[in-house]
Every structure is written in C-alpha cells, then in structure tokens.
Amino acid sequence: MSLSIQFDQVTKDFGAVRVLHGVSFELAPGRVYGLLGENGAGKSTLMKILAGYERASGGEVRIDGTARRFDDSRQAEAAGVVLIHQEFNLAEHLTIAQNIFLGHECRKGWLLDDAAMRAEAARVLQLVGLAADPDTPVRRLIVAEKQLVEIAKALSRRARLLIMDEPTATLTPGETQRLFALIARLKEEGATIVYISHKLDEVERVTDEVVVMRDGRFVARAATAEVDRRRMANLMVGRELSDMFPDKEPPPADAPCALKVSGLSVPGWAEQLDFEVREGEILGFAGLVGAGRTEAFEALIGLRPRSAGQVELGGRPVALRNPRQAMKHGITYLSEDRKGKGLHVDLSLRDNLTLMVLRPWLRLDQERDALVHAVREFGIRTGDLAARARMLSGGNQQKLALAKFLHPDPRVVVLDEPTRGVDVGAKRDIYFLIRRLAAEGRAVIVISSELIELIGLCHRVAVMRAGRLQATLGLDHLTEEELIAHATGTR
C-alpha cells in the first residue's frame, strides 16, 4: 500500500527568483529516505509541492506512475501524502483530540462523534508515546509535546507517504528513540517516509537512503550505509568541511570566577542550583526538555520569579530583578525561541541589532556603522542592509540574534540552543564564534539538546534532571553515554 514518487524536472519560481531548478529523482515505496541540504537548498519547497501546499511552476510529480497535481493539502492527504510541518499548525485553544481531527471530524448524523474521536486520538497518542489526556487543550502542552501531537495527527490520517520536517528538533533523546521505533513500525506497515533533518547522526540511524539537495538542485543519492556523516556534510555544503569544532583551549588556571550562582530555586522548575563559570570558560547545560534549564536562566536574569538564590558577578553579589539590570551587570540571555523571543522578524536588521543599547537620543549614523561592523564580524549574509530580519535565512537570523545579545558587551553570555534549525555551515560559524567569545575572556553558557555539540564545544557540562543539578562533568568525562545516563537518571 505504499507509494512510489517520481519528481521529473520540477521547477518552482517565486517571482523572478527560481528556488528549484528542474529537480528529478525517484523514491521507491516502503523505504525511509533522508532528505539533506542546507537551509535554502529547496528541500522544504519540494516537499510542500508534493504535499499540496505549493504548486510547481514546471515539471511533474508522479505518484505510482500517474502525474498528480494537488490543489491543496486535503487532496494530498486523501491520496495518502501527509507532511508534518517544521512549524506547528495547531489551534492552541482546541483540545488534542479536536486538533487531531480538525477538518476530518467524525460524525454521527448531524452531530460530532466525540467518543469515537477521543478513542482514536488516545490510540495514536499511545503510538507516539505521549501520555496526555486527549481532552487537554493544546496551549497547555510544551513544545516537544506539540511536536508529538503533530505526528499523531499525521498517523490518524493513515499516511502512505509521510514527510517529517525536522521532527526531533524539540524532542528529548527518549522521545526521539520512541519516534525512531515508530518510524520502523510504519515502514514495516508499508509506508514510505521522507525524513528531513539537520541532525546527521539521526539520519544515519534511521534512514535507508539519503538524497542530498543544494541550491535548488538534486546533488546526490546514496545508501545510508555507504556514506559517513562527514561525507554527508561535505555533500550538503559542496566543499570539504574541516572539523566542525574549534580546538578546545582551556581557560588559564588562574582565570577568575565570572558568575557564581548558589541555591537558585524557581518555583515549579528548579531547586537549589549551584554552579559557577570562570572567565574564558564554556559551560554546557545538558538535560531533557522540561528539565528546567531554560526556566532557571530566565529566572536568573529576572524574566520569571525565583524563590531563592544568590548571584555573584565578578565576585560581587548582585540582585537581578529584570533583564535590564542583568544587562547592566554584564549578563545577557539569548532565548531558544528565535522568532518568538529572540528577534523582531518584522523589524530591520539595524533595529534588531541595536535595540538593547539605545541611548535616549538615537544616533542613526552610529547605528548604521554598528550594523556594517556586525555584518562583517558575525558573517551575516544579506543582500540588503535595509532588509527586515525575516528575509534572512535561519542561520543568518541566528547570527544576527547573537550579534544583538553581544552588542551590550556582556561579560557572561547565556546561549539557549544557539544552533537550533541552523544549517551545517552556519553551525560551524557559530561554534567558532562561541570559541572566540571565550578566548576574549567572556564566560559562555551553552544550553543545548545536541549532545555532540556540548561535547565538541564545552569545557565542562552540567546535567540537569527534573529541576535539579545532577552532575557536572569535566573534559575527561564528556561522553554521550555519561550525559544521557545523568540526564535520564539511570546513574
């Protein structure tokens, strides 16, 4: 019952801009494909055409040998093609069950058949491993749970071709494991799966074959077993990628303590956290989603209430009641939610960059100089300095966000998931930037769910579980196994 797909010279133009240049390849039924490419390579656009969200400007998409053109996603879903979006399409005020059946409600005569929908919702929720009542409003769920609801929604549509766009970006290792088990099961049941991800280790584990795209063109395909991660990365960027991570130079032995936190407690999220970070040191924070890492640091700089805790910056005790005081004392925090909390996507690059440090009277010429400087310094690729932030690619938005939160020249900078949704090339740029920040004598704290990133980048990694600090691992103990063991409490 699975579908085979043939793309034949598919092109897509947005006005004069051609984003797909005659893409041709085939997907055989019942296999798991990894679709790789940097941001802007055209993979999402191609998949949107397949799933009826966009129309091709030229070429053909054949499903099981017949040319098909879907007017909308409903038609595609009726044909068994379902796309799980990178961004969520959930109605926040409706319940999980209502969302799963949105537009496909079960009926009993004129009325909705709530009991049947609830039962089916409970079934698919169990499949994805989300222990939540189908009557829970979606707005009460955390991001990872919403992702699982999106997957459950796709399952309830009985997909024969399932496209997943970055499904694990917000999932914990445990949830990711469950998703992989689910993918294996769907494959056994005969579904074709297209798996888009920046996480090459996952692609390596879960896919049968990889297809690589670059600049709107098909580049290569190969059996997953025959290419290693390095080769995948090289194919995506189109050049030899030397080591992803910069060399680790530990901070000098006598480097003074930059930030010392003792007994930090955040009601409902964190209890009695003690840690310190020295100048020139990169301290990682590992843990599952919901372990309280983000919340602890939001509380630290005064974005949410805390019930206890002392903070010392540069050896002096300080009271940080709001982000402004925190900034004045030399600590800034870049949120994991780039578009919701990090950047004003509708404002210009300049307005974003200088927002935190404006003097009462604006100096537009100085702001412009600052932007020119930041674009060079942080390697932000933009054709137009007057552009709005939303015109930038994900990686360049992230670089702009980093520039913004470094503009106040903090001594301590907290970066929450600094490479989320960013392509390999930009990731590497960001790693080297973080290294440089440390070399300049700043203390850097990196919160990340990507263990490889923490291991490759940090001098020490603190592991949190359920709001408590579980362990702090030094250089010689930094392995994936150790981190997972502490994060999940199996040690």
Partner 1 sequence: MQPEPVESPTVSRKWRSVLGGLGPILGLVALCIVGTALNPDFATVDNLMNVLTRTAFIGIIAVGMTFVIMSGGIDLSVGSMAALIAGSMILFMNGLAGGGHAPLLVVALGMGLALVLGLAFGCAHGLLITKGRVEPFIVTLGTLGIFRAFLTWFADGGALTLDGALSDLYSPVYYASLLGVPIPVWIFAAVAVIGSVLLNRTAFGRHVQAIGSNEQVARYAAIRVDLVKILTYMLLGLCVGIATLLYVPRLGSASPTTGLLWELEAIAAVVVGGTALKGGEGRLVGTVVGAILLSVISNILNLTSIISVYLNAAVQGGVIIVVAFMQRGRR
Q: Is the dihedral of CA 292, 297, 301, 307 positive or negative?
A: positive
Count of all residues that appear for the chain in the document: 491
Binding status of residue 324 toward partner 1 by CB under 8 A: yes
Q: Is the dihedral of CA 56, 60, 61, 66 positive or negative?
A: positive
Q: CA 306, CA 299: separation in Å to the nearest integer?
A: 6
Closest CA to 174 of 470, 486, 484: 484
Binding status of residue 297 toward partner 1 by CB under 8 A: no
Output 76 or 326, the one with its CB closest to partner 1.
326
β-strand 331-334 against 412-416: which pairing, if any?
parallel
Exposed, middle or buried: residue 360 (CB in 10 Å: 0-12, 13-18, 19+)? exposed
**Are 332 and 406 within 8 A, CB to CB?**
yes
By CB under 8 A, name the one of 17, 111, 131, 253 that touches partner 1: 17
Map the footprint of partner 1 across residues 26-45, applying CB under 8 A: 40
By CB under 8 A, name the one of 359, 365, 376, 490 that touches partner 1: 359
Exposed, middle or buried: residue 67 (CB in 10 Å: 0-12, 13-18, 19+)? exposed
Binding status of residue 93 toward partner 1 by CB under 8 A: no
Output 47 or 152, the one with its CB closest to partner 1.
47
By CB under 8 A, name the one of 103, 109, 305, 340 that touches partner 1: 340
Binding status of residue 347 toward partner 1 by CB under 8 A: yes
302: amino acid identity, one letter: G
Smallest distance, partner 1 to C-beta of residue 344, A: 5
Among the listed ranges 225-233, 347-355, 433-441, 468-476, the one in contact with partner 1 (CB under 8 A) is 347-355
Q: CA 343, CA 404: separation in Å to the nearest integer?
A: 9
Binding status of residue 420 toward partner 1 by CB under 8 A: no
Distances (CA, A) of 252 to 43, 280, 314, 411, 438: 45, 8, 16, 16, 11
Binding status of residue 139 toward partner 1 by CB under 8 A: no
Binding status of residue 358 toward partner 1 by CB under 8 A: yes
Among the listed ranges 21-29, 238-246, 327-335, 463-471, the one in contact with partner 1 (CB under 8 A) is 327-335
- Look at phi and psi of residue 194 and say left if phi exceeds 0, alpha if psi is from -120 to 50, else beta: beta
Q: Tokens 């991800």 identify what position?
A: 197
404-433 burial, b at 16+ Cβ within 10 Å, e below that, comes to bbbbeebbbbbbbbbbbbbbbbbbbbbbeb
By CB under 8 A, name the one of 68, 344, 411, 468 that touches partner 1: 344
Binding status of residue 390 toward partner 1 by CB under 8 A: yes
By CB under 8 A, name the one of 62, 199, 341, 368 that touches partner 1: 341
Closest CA to 414 of 392, 380, 437: 437
By CB under 8 A, name the one of 333, 417, 437, 447 that touches partner 1: 333
Output 195 or 333, the one with its CB closest to partner 1.
333
Output 132 or 300, the one with its CB closest to partner 1.
300
211-227 burial, b at 16+ Cβ within 10 Å, e below that, comes to bbbbebebebbeebeeb
Among the listed ranges 116-124, 125-133, 326-334, 466-474, the one in contact with partner 1 (CB under 8 A) is 326-334
Closest CA to 400 of 347, 443, 457, 452: 347
Among the listed ranges 220-228, 241-249, 386-394, 424-432, the one in contact with partner 1 (CB under 8 A) is 386-394
Smallest distance, partner 1 to C-beta of residue 345, A: 8
Smallest distance, partner 1 to C-beta of residue 110, A: 34
By CB under 8 A, name the one of 129, 174, 323, 421 that touches partner 1: 323
Output 5 or 331, the one with its CB closest to partner 1.
331
Output 158 or 390, the one with its CB closest to partner 1.
390
Counting other chains too, the contacts that 366-370 makes at CB distance below 8 Å and 24 or more residues apart are: 370/407
Output 80 or 216, the one with its CB closest to partner 1.
216
Smallest distance, partner 1 to C-beta of residue 130, A: 26
Output 77 or 416, the one with its CB closest to partner 1.
416
By CB under 8 A, name the one of 49, 183, 194, 343 that touches partner 1: 343
Q: How many residues bind partner 1 (CB under 8 A)?
A: 40
Binding status of residue 404 toward partner 1 by CB under 8 A: yes
Q: CA 179, CA 168: separation in Å to the nearest integer?
A: 8
Binding status of residue 471 toward partner 1 by CB under 8 A: no
Closest CA to 81 of 237, 167, 193: 193
Output 55 or 108, the one with its CB closest to partner 1.
55
Distances (CA, A) of 351 to 124, 138, 167, 378: 45, 34, 32, 17
Among the listed ranges 136-144, 335-343, 440-448, 468-476, the one in contact with partner 1 (CB under 8 A) is 335-343
Binding status of residue 355 toward partner 1 by CB under 8 A: yes
Q: CA 40, CA 22: separation in Å to the nearest integer?
A: 16
Map the footprint of partner 1 across residues 364-383, applying CB under 8 A: 364, 383
Smallest distance, partner 1 to C-beta of residue 46, A: 15
Which residue ranges make up the site for partner 1 (CB under 8 A)? 14-17, 19, 40, 303, 322-324, 326-327, 332-333, 335, 340-347, 351, 355-356, 358-362, 364, 383-384, 390-393, 404, 408
